Structure 1
Amino acid sequence: DHEFSDATEPHGAGFLVGKISGIRPSQEPGDGDRWQVAISQYARIDMPDLWDHGRNPVRYTSLAELGIDPAALAWEPMSQGTTVQAPAGASAATGAPVGALTIAEAKKALAATFGVKPDAIEITIRG
């Protein structure tokens, strides 16, 4: 529920379950002891009011606690085509190191920079 979000799901609803494929220390500047959780597969769900209103909208729990049968889910592999590796070096804007990001993340960041909505951003990649 953020002005720069392009989410279409109702606020507070559970919409995705992911299969964790690994964890690694965050490479983002200033993240300290934060970790990034990678997922290899995901399944869409529709569970209203699942968010517990904690600080982080991600919820770590068991599927049994949520009443979800993983065998009944339509699992999809994470698309590798939507993640791009930014060039090595530093960001011209902040001087901070840059890393991998998705098109959606890039659109949100650019939208915040220019004061527009993410759907107003178009990105073209030439190989």
Structure 2
Amino acid sequence: MHRALVVSLVATLTALAPVTAQARPDGGALHDRIERIAQEVVGRSTAGMVVSVVDGSTTPLLRAWGHADAEGERPLGTDSRLPVASVSKVVTALTALTLHEEGSLDLDAPIEHSSGVVLRDERAP
């Protein structure tokens, strides 16, 4: 039997909004799109899937589908431990590249200009 792939996606709703609007001009809701993806992959190419969409301090979507194992013995829940590895890096990189292409994010500018966060070296006096 093949091993299960459990997917966990963590993204910011505010960063995805421009991507969603551009990729889906008919205005389909993000929740509906994620539900369709889950229906297509869970039980076929993956045993289970967890999606968490975060917008500031709120979580407008936190949902689990399927099982935590290929045998279907352990239901997957939103509190299940998942081997996420570096999945969020891919989502962040694609979002940043899309925003850069749209002109919303200058990847060559210092981080302080776009984030308002002042970085400092902890090793400095």
Give the shorter-chain TM-score range.
under 0.3
The structure with the largest alpha-carbon Rg is 2
In proportion to residue count, which structure has more strand?
A: 1
Q: Which structure dedicates a bigger proportion of its chain to helix?
A: 2
When the two structures are superposed, what TM-score results if normalisation uses the length of structure 1?
Answer: 0.25
Q: Which has the higher contact order (CA 8 A, sep 6+)?
A: 2
TM-score calculated relative to the size of structure 2: 0.25
